[in-house]
Chains A and B, each alone.
Chain A
Amino acid sequence: MALLMHPANNGVLQAEGHTLVRFCWQHIEEVSKVSTITVTVNGKTYTNDVEPRTLLVHYLREHLNLTGTHIGCDTSQCGACVVHVNGQSVKSCTMLAVQADGASVTTIEGIAPAGELHPLQEGFWECHGLQCGYCTPGMIMAAADLLQHNPSPSDDEIRHGLEGNLCRCTGYHNIVRAVQYAAAKMRGEEVSA
């Protein structure tokens, strides 16, 4: 569906000639609305006052200073912001912090004990699964969710499982190898890069 939004449209959103929604840019008086949430992040429980419109990724990065979770496309497509909420991988740019009230969240900072690397982190290191590193936290969190459901994935299953994560540097070949490295290590097998 093509959404054409342009100031010349006078605030009318069009899809190929069909008027969808009328909207206006006028400033809306911001009403102070605050919710108190309690979230366990990487095993530590936090209670914070947040505006309900706060996205989970902004809560993690700006309230808790956990900046390992990245913001890429901001449109639920690139996967740089993937974290686990109650054990399931989600895109934290498309979830409100208030929706995580009472939940247990794991970010890249919490995937392994301090000072140690998770097998996936080790795999990305050993197999050169990253170049700039921007997509890496999301890739690792998505791959961790994949491996908890499928400890012995085929290369195709890894590619399918990571379809919600985009890398714009290396391509995906070494990322698949890194996940295979981690899968083997987590199965207790001898590994080499």
Chain B
Amino acid sequence: MIPASFAYHAPQSVAEAVSLLEQHGDEAKILAGGHSLLPALKLRLSQPGVLIDISRIGELQGIHVGSSIEIGAGATYAAVAGHAGVRSGCAVLAECVEQIGDIQVRNRGTVGGALAHADPAADLPAVLLALGGSVSAQGPGGSRTIAADDLFVEMLTTALEPNEVVTKVTVPALGKGEGAAYSKLKHPASRYAIVGVAAYVKLAADGSVAAARIAVTGAGPKAERQSAAEAALVGSAGDDAAVAAAAAAAGDDMEYLGDIHASEDYRRAMVKVYTRRAVAAALSRARA
């Protein structure tokens, strides 16, 4: 037996899961796809007394595509990557999740789980920030929506309360004149982002950049918007000079983490390189 002992519950509804969280308090952890939690349990870095497995809750599985795209928190990466409506309405999301881990990881890992876990090297936080998306969560007092900008508090910490369950993730369906892209330097074995940059742009009628959101993951303790890089783009013609200015401004005002795979300095340099790639790709899609 590798993990420490725990009691296991598999509720059939979100309400039942919330009530179990209320009942067990700090002792309980939510289990979804398990691809962040089970490795932590196996190292005994996490030793919860109770696991609440939400993977059997049908209401968390659906994907709905309309003017916005609503993804059930329990939808796997593979389900999102293979969803035709997601691919046509918000291709960057499919592009992001199909770069996560490998197919076996994508068959189990969930969108809601990744965002609730907030691993500093996870891909989705950057994309959610760039798209201006949100997560919905249900707790004992009902449901609420948390904007991506308010979600990521610090390393492995979100604005979710301990007694809340993420129910869905909402991102906009992109229209004409809008484009988004995700570009990442991946660790060759784990495929976690050493640096990942997501960019979203919206063009005005005259072709200039009306709005831009850029977010970086992997480089520091949490995924972060890059306001200086965004400011360098907005109002510009979105030409090569503007892309270069955005890349140059990226990553100057954020906290970095270095490790055996890449130093802080290397990550700082790569933030600029991958910002340039992501912004250029987003612009090209917005013009298509």
Which residues of A pack against B, CB within 8 Å?
1-2, 5, 13, 15-16, 18, 20-21, 23, 28, 30-31, 33, 35, 51-55, 58, 74-77, 79, 82, 88-91, 94-96, 98-99, 101, 142, 145-146, 161, 163-165
Q: Which one of B5-13, B18-26, B86-94, B273-281 is at the A interface?
A: B5-13
Question: How far in angstroms is the closest Cβ of chain A from B100?
Answer: 11
B83 within 8 A of partner (CB): no
For B101, what are the chain A residues with a Cβ–Cβ distance below 8 Å? 76, 164
Sort A-B residue pairs by CB-CB distance and give the 3 closest, nearest first: A164-B102, A2-B259, A52-B8
Closest to B221 in A: A18
- Asked whether, in the complex, the Cβ of A142 is within 8 Å of the Cβ of B104, the reply is yes
* Contact with B104, one of A35, A74, A90 (Cβ below 8 angstroms): A90
Query: How far is it, in angstroms, between the C-alpha of A165 and the C-alpha of B103 when the chains are bound?
Result: 10
For B45, what are the chain A residues with a Cβ–Cβ distance below 8 Å? 13, 21, 23
Known: A79-B102, A99-B53, A142-B104. A52 touches B6 (CB 8 A): yes
- Asked whether, in the complex, the Cβ of A82 is within 8 Å of the Cβ of B257, the reply is no
Which residues of B pack against A, CB within 8 Å?
1-8, 10, 31, 34-35, 38-39, 41-47, 51, 53, 55, 78, 101-105, 107-108, 119-121, 155-156, 189-192, 221, 257-261
For A89, what are the chain B residues with a Cβ–Cβ distance below 8 Å? 103-104, 107
Query: How far is it, in angstroms, between the C-alpha of A35 and the C-alpha of B38 when the chains are bound?
Result: 18
For B55, what are the chain A residues with a Cβ–Cβ distance below 8 Å? 99
Question: How far in angstroms is the closest Cβ of chain B from A97?
Answer: 10
For A18, what are the chain B residues with a Cβ–Cβ distance below 8 Å? 155, 221, 257
Query: How far is it, in angstroms, between the C-alpha of A16 and the C-alpha of B259 when the chains are bound?
Result: 7
- Asked whether, in the complex, the Cβ of A33 is within 8 Å of the Cβ of B7, the reply is yes
Beyond known contacts A1-B257, A15-B257: 19 more, CB 8 A cutoff? A2-B261, A15-B259, A16-B258, A16-B259, A20-B156, A21-B46, A33-B5, A33-B8, A55-B38, A74-B2, A77-B190, A82-B104, A89-B103, A94-B35, A142-B103, A163-B102, A163-B103, A164-B101, A164-B102
